[in-house]
Structure 1
Amino acid sequence: MSSNPSIIENLPFQSTTFTILALLLFLYTLSVITRNRKGPSKSPLEAGGAWPLIGHLHLFGGSQPPHVTLGEMAKKYGPIFAIRLGVHKTLVVSSKEMAKECFTINDKAFASRPTGIAFEVLGYNFSMIGFCRYSAYWRYVRKLATLGILSTNQTEILKHIMESEVKIAMKASYDLWLLKKTCSEKSKQLVATFVDN
């Protein structure tokens, strides 16, 4: 009786593959057991039906507006639950009491912003108001923006500058249209697109 040489040659590969799969199954089982021993999680209930990479985004693509979809999910999962937008976990709050708890009692936890290399580069090392972390500096910049730039009094003072900028932009667009008036129809569409923007 002769043995098949191809089976003998593939035996080390098959045993290695089986060992790796058994190790992965063991690690997965171990992680599930340790997760269950930690007790109940403090994170809110996550809505079901998430897909691996896009999360719950597929639920918002139908004919219903997103707020209706979120309202139906709130009826099913309660006043506070989590969904996944892509790979990011997002908290959804749908009751007045929970919103008050988030923005009054735990406001420091919700005031922080995500950190990342893009926010650091775009925000000049987190110095812009939209990108900086919640801190004394952020409170100072917010106070400066609300009182010094965006207040009603300051807006009235700078109103003539805003109006003149709009007039200059409209005049430049009109002059460009007059210049291109004799050109082809394609150029007119280009100018019309420029004016719309």
Structure 2
Amino acid sequence: MDLDHHHLSSLLHFISTILALLLLVHHLLRKSKRDQKKREPLEAVGGWPIIGHLPPLQALQPPHITLGNMADKYGPIFTIRMGVYKTLVVSNWEMAKECFTTNDKVFANRPKLVAQDILGYNYAMIRFSPYGSYWRQVRKIATLEVLSHHRIEKLSHVRESKVKICIKELYELWLKDNSVVVEMKNWFEDVALNLIFRMVVGK
């Protein structure tokens, strides 16, 4: 009888120890999740299932106005969902500087998607390429050969000639019809796109 009582006491002691450990682990996990949620930026409300915050960004007003209104409401850093992917929105220059200097490697990387693999020719295009030695090399070439101050100054005649041609086309339209209406937004987009192609590929 004493032996059974001893076994029962040992079993109860073992079970109580296990329960105490489980409660401790549960408490630590909940605390870790709470701390993680505190560190995560606030997510904007109004997201839809699956498509996220795409409907508000497709409103009548431009997307940057919508994001600016969200920044006024949620602060300089918050998240939205572009489809099923969470996207960080930063509207403070100090935070943006930290993103692109201190943590630039993290923000330079991109998720590998099937669409980017196909459209980017197996991630050969810098826009779709993940961070790595190839991306650094292509970025270096683009910075030195396309976007450097010397290169831009060297191609200043291209910009001048292209803008003159576009203005001349507007003038010819005005000569044909004094009341002609021109959508300046599309016109500026065409000018910018033509300039980019002319300066990058020569056509």
Give the TM interval when normalised to the shorter protein.
0.5 to 0.7
Q: CA deviation at 1:35?
A: 7.6
SS at match of 1:128: coil
How do 1:97-176 residues align onto structure 2 when only pairs under 5 Å count? Answer: 97-149=94-146, 151-152=151-152, 155=155
Give me the TM-score of the superposition, normalised by structure 2. 0.52
Amino acid at match of 1:104: T
Tell me the equivalent position of 1:65. 62
Asked if the contact 1:148–1:154 (Cα under 8 Å) also holds between the matched residues in 2, the reply is no
Partner of 1:76: 73
**One-letter amino acid matched to 2:35:** P
Q: 12, 34, 40: which is aligned to 2:35?
A: 40
Q: Gaps spanning 5+ residues in structure 1: where?
A: 1-32, 164-197
Query: Structure 1 pair 132/75, CA: closer, same or farther in 2 (3 Å)?
Result: same
How many pairs align? 129
Distance 1:140 1:73 in 2: 37
**Which secondary structure state, in structure 2, belongs to the residue aligned with residue 138 of structure 1?**
helix
Give how far 1:107 is off.
0.8
Task: Evaluate the alpha carbon distance shift between residue 46 and residue 35 of structure 1 in structure 2; reply closer, same or farther with a 3 A threshold.
Answer: farther
SS of the residue 1:120 aligns to: helix
Aligned CA-pair RMSD: 3.1
CA contact (8 A) 1:83 1:92 kept: yes
The one-letter amino acid paired with 1:144 is I
Stretches of structure 2 that go unaligned for 5 or more consecutive residues are 1-26, 163-203
Q: What TM-score comes out, normalization by structure 1 length?
A: 0.54
Cα distance in 2 for partners of 1:56, 1:131 equals: 22
Structure 1 residue 36: deviation in Å? 4.4
Q: How many percent of aligned residue pairs carry the same amino acid? A: 56
CA contact (8 A) 1:149 1:155 kept: no
Q: Which segment drifts farther, 69-78 or 122-131?
A: 122-131
Letter in 1 for 2:123: F
> Does the Cα contact within 8 Å between 1:83 and 1:89 map onto a contact in 2?
yes
1:49 partner SS: coil
Residues 58 and 121 of structure 1: CA distance in aligned 2, closer, same or farther (over 3 Å): closer
Shift of 1:156: 7.3
SS of 2:64's equivalent in the other structure is helix
Preserved contact between residue 80 and residue 92 of structure 1 (Cα < 8 Å): yes
The CA deviation at 1:68 is 2.2
Q: Report the CA distance shift for 1:125/1:58 in structure 2 as closer, same or farther (over 3 A).
A: closer
